[in-house]
Amino acid sequence: IRSIVIIGGGLAGAHAAQALRERSYDGALTLLAAEQHPPYERPPLSKGILLGEATADSAVVHPLSWYDEQGIDLRCGVRAESIDREAREVLLAGGERLGYDRLLLAPGANPRRLRSLEVEGADVRYLRTLDDSVALKERLSGRLLIIGGGWIGLEVAAAARAAGGTVTVAVRGELPLVQVLGREVAEVFAGLHREHGVDLRTQVEVKAVRREGEVTIAELSDGSVLEVDTILVGIGAAPAIELAAAAGLPGTEGIEVDAALRTVDPRVCAAGDVALHDHPRLGRMRVDHWDAAIEQGKHVAGTLLGSEEPYERLPYFFTDQYDLGMEYVGHPGERACEEVRLLGDVPGRVFRAYWLRDGTVVAGMHVNDWDAIEEVRRLVGGDAADLPG
């Protein structure tokens, strides 16, 4: 193998590049990054950067000089336009063609949009990139309406309250995060935000946004109206499959890859938010979390160099909101769990939770119980009878 191209200068792409060099791959290595920034961490975008505790510089995975030292041709602000799999070339804007022996697709995901609300003159935003975060920071002390009570929406709500903003969060369901966490644990998050002064509106949708002179008005499905300065839409992200699809690589919910993260074309792999992979124990899944992007990036380096080893790591996720930190391990899948076992002090927000199905622990988390993560990792995937308490 003399030439590897990575499309996507994010976490997965950067860690794959690093792991390739660590595995002694010394051929040509090009990393195409559509954004102007070198690869960076996204978790601070909805936390540290908004809170003023992190900066663009502290969020980068490696300083620019590292790419030079490693002989990695990092091209910031350069987008791959298409892939010619027969010629084994990536086409760039301007007509340049980059040949490859192996290709990694790590283009991440794009926020799902609510175009009907993107009314002229209204400040309707999304949060995916460093530039989005830096711009959003300036808006946090005003009147903010957050549509969607997912992780990003709630983290931004916490940052905006810290900045003294007036925050309304509108969610469709009966509680934020209820689909992921179930009612009991979702209530902990709802209570946390209400205590911190967030106006949490449940079972509502934002039906329309209109401008009255210089004022932005949001109309909610319960008939209420809100005067707002900024609207942040946080309703999830869709995997960036377009390039792969145009190149004939299958997958609508993500680029389909096998257990080793290889597409149907053995020269082409995918990793990170975009990869819909076959987990040997848990089945087909796409994990859009920080840990998976890093670990799949490292793993796929081996696959690009010929390894057949499956990627077997359990999904892991963390969040920080106000003084609440939590870590979550597992993948409950679509089917409902029979029981959520709660251990510890739930009202005091120091506890562990385990989700049980068919006698198995399918997921576990801790809230503010920082010694518990090893126990959680050990128990997830095992027999429910082994749970303490």
Q: Where along the sequence are the contacts to ligand FAD (CB under 6 A)?
A: 7-13, 32-35, 42-43, 45-46, 79-80, 106-109, 127-128, 152, 240, 243, 272-274, 288-291, 293, 317-319
- Decide whether 210 or 313 has the Cβ nearer to ligand FAD: 313
Task: State how far the alpha carbon of 119 is from the alpha carbons of 141, 205, 222, in Å.
Answer: 22, 16, 21
Pairing of β 3-7 and β 28-33:
parallel
Pairing of β 215-220 and β 316-321:
unpaired
Residues belonging to the chain = 389
Q: How many CB atoms lie within 10 A of CB 215?
A: 12
| Minimum separation from the CB atom of position 227 to ligand FAD (A) | 26
Q: Which residues contact 296 (CB under 8 A, 6 or more apart)?
A: 12, 261, 271, 272, 275, 277, 311
Task: State how far the alpha carbon of 252 is from the alpha carbons of 216, 222, 274, in Å.
Answer: 36, 34, 10
| Minimum separation from the CB atom of position 327 to ligand FAD (A) | 9
Q: Which helix (H) or strand (E) holds 365?
A: strand 360-367
| Minimum separation from the CB atom of position 211 to ligand FAD (A) | 27
- Cβ pair 141, 164 in contact under 8 A: yes
- Decide whether 110 or 221 has the Cβ nearer to ligand FAD: 110
User: Exposure of 6 by Cβ count < 10 A (0-12 exposed, 13-18 middle, 19+ buried)?
Assistant: buried
- Decide whether 9 or 165 has the Cβ nearer to ligand FAD: 9
| Minimum separation from the CB atom of position 221 to ligand FAD (A) | 26
Greatest CA separation for the chain? 63
Q: Which residues contact 245 (CB under 8 A, 6 or more apart)?
A: 251, 252
| Minimum separation from the CB atom of position 146 to ligand FAD (A) | 13
C-alpha 270/C-alpha 319 separation (Å) is 25
- Decide whether 130 or 356 has the Cβ nearer to ligand FAD: 130
| Minimum separation from the CB atom of position 79 to ligand FAD (A) | 4
- Per DSSP, the three-state class of 209 is strand
C-alpha 98/C-alpha 349 separation (Å) is 52
- Cβ pair 367, 356 in contact under 8 A: no
- Decide whether 87 or 225 has the Cβ nearer to ligand FAD: 87
| Minimum separation from the CB atom of position 368 to ligand FAD (A) | 16
- Decide whether 14 or 384 has the Cβ nearer to ligand FAD: 14
| Minimum separation from the CB atom of position 132 to ligand FAD (A) | 8
- Decide whether 34 or 282 has the Cβ nearer to ligand FAD: 34
Task: State how far the alpha carbon of 188 is from the alpha carbons of 192, 202, 350, in Å.
Answer: 6, 15, 11
- Decide whether 139 or 356 has the Cβ nearer to ligand FAD: 139
C-alpha 250/C-alpha 258 separation (Å) is 12
Q: Which helix (H) or strand (E) holds 187?
A: helix 178-195
| Minimum separation from the CB atom of position 207 to ligand FAD (A) | 26
Task: Calculate Rg over the CA atoms of the chain.
Answer: 22
| Minimum separation from the CB atom of position 325 to ligand FAD (A) | 10
| Minimum separation from the CB atom of position 108 to ligand FAD (A) | 2
Residue nearest to ligand FAD (CB): 10
